[in-house]
Amino acid sequence: MKALFATTCIAILAAIAYYGIGEYRQHAAEQEQADRIEGARAELYKMAGAQPGAVGEPAVKAFCETMEEGIKGDLKDNEVAKGLAHNCRVLGYL
């Protein structure tokens, strides 16, 4: 009877640990994605020379529009400009 009880406890602890590790990994992945999004947003503000927040948003939108026009013209082969324009679209500035 003691062995059965011990085995049951071990199985329950293993299930809890498995669930906990899964939740931790999911949280870590979500946090990593949020950090990447915030980093892309900060990069756009910095490149646009704007202050973070709603005050600088018009400058970022103008910068993004310039990037979008640029990749259709003289920056069509520039991978950095394409990446910036992509970030502008994903973050909703275009």
Domain positions in the chain are: 2-90
Q: Tell me the pTM.
A: 0.69
Confidence of residue 14 (pLDDT cuts 50, 70, 90): very high
Residue 17's pLDDT band, with cuts at 50, 70 and 90, is very high
Q: Please say if the pLDDT value at position 10 is more than 90.
A: yes
Residue 45 CB contacts under 8 Å (≥ 6 apart), including other chains: 51, 52, 56, 60
Q: Which amino acid is at 3?
A: A
What number of CA atoms fall less than 13 Å from residue 71's CA on the CB side?
Answer: 15
